[in-house]
């Protein structure tokens, strides 16, 4: 492996740094975007069941907020009702929407970095290819012995090919994981939105 890095030249080091960063982001997102941490399957039903007998106490709301991202959004609505029992439906929706925006920002963390790596890696590989081509043409410059410098020629070709290949090796998985996480986050955000809407309708029905 080290011999390949040596053959690829100095231009491969930025790509290696990008690959390490992309791998770290992928691992972190897999850990952070677990369903149980974002939208536990039975949490909404439990909240609706509890609120049938009235709004939970502030301590219970705090526990709900610490449960998950969904709990954080629902707790913001319940806290608004605890603070102002006459809170209008529009104010309740606005409060949960604000909490949802904060959660969305947290769910999308590092995804733009991963997308940037997916876009930049092929260009960085192309840069290494250009450097390798320059070395190839340099070995064939006028005034060199017939056939040029074979060692410099081989090194230029290796730099060009290794950087192109490594750039694609970094970009393709980064793009795949970015699309996967992007779809996962969009699904979570839709679930949060629908859950908040359901809680708002539930509270409205209890006030009738």
In a domain, 174, yes or no: yes
First vs last C-alpha separation in the chain: 70
The predicted pLDDT at position 143 comes to 56
In a domain, 1, yes or no: no
Q: How far apart are CA 158 and CA 109, in angstroms?
A: 37
What's the whole-model pTM score?
0.83
> Which of 141, 143, 142, 177 minimizes the C-alpha distance to 156?
141
Q: How far apart are CA 92 and CA 208, in angstroms?
A: 16
Instruction: State the total domains in the chain.
Output: 1
The predicted pLDDT at position 160 comes to 76
In a domain, 164, yes or no: yes
Written as six digits, the tokens of 26 are: 């992928």
The sign of the torsion formed by the CA atoms of 107, 113, 116, 122 equals negative
Question: Residue 94: which pLDDT band, with cuts at 50, 70 and 90?
Answer: very high
Any idea what the Cα angle at residue 77 is, between residues 73 and 80, rounded to 5°? 135
In a domain, 2, yes or no: no
The predicted pLDDT at position 140 comes to 61
In a domain, 28, yes or no: yes
Residues 91-120 have a mean pLDDT of 94
In a domain, 137, yes or no: yes
Expressed as residue numbers, the domain containing 93 is 7-207
Residue 103 pLDDT greater than 80, yes or no: yes
Question: Residue 10: which pLDDT band, with cuts at 50, 70 and 90?
Answer: confident
More confident residue, 159 or 101: 101
Question: Residue 164: which pLDDT band, with cuts at 50, 70 and 90?
Answer: confident
Residue 171 pLDDT greater than 90, yes or no: yes
């Amino acid at each position: 492996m080290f011999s390949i890095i040596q053959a690829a030249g100095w231009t491969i080091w930025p790509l290696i740094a990008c690959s390490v960063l992309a791998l770290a982001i992928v691992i972190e997102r897999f850990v952070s975007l677990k369903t149980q941490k974002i939208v536990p399957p039975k949490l909404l039903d439990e909240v609706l069941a509890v609120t049938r007998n009235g709004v939970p106490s502030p301590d219970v709301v705090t526990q709900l907020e610490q449960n998950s991202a969904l709990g954080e959004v629902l707790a913001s609505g319940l806290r608004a009702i605890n603070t102002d029992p006459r809170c209008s439906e529009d104010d309740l929706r606005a409060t949960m929407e604000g909490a949802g925006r904060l959660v969305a920002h947290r769910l999308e963390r590092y995804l733009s970095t991963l997308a940037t790596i997916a876009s930049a890696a092929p260009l960085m590989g192309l840069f290494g290819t250009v450097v390798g081509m320059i070395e190839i043409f340099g070995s064939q410059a006028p005034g060199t012995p017939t056939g040029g410098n074979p060692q410099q020629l081989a090194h230029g070709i290796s730099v060009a090919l290794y950087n192109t290949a490594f750039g694609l090796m970094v970009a393709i998985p980064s793009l795949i994981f970015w699309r996967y996480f992007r779809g996962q986050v969009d699904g979570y955000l839709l679930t949060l939105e629908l859950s908040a809407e359901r809680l708002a309708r539930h509270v409205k029905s209890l006030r009738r």
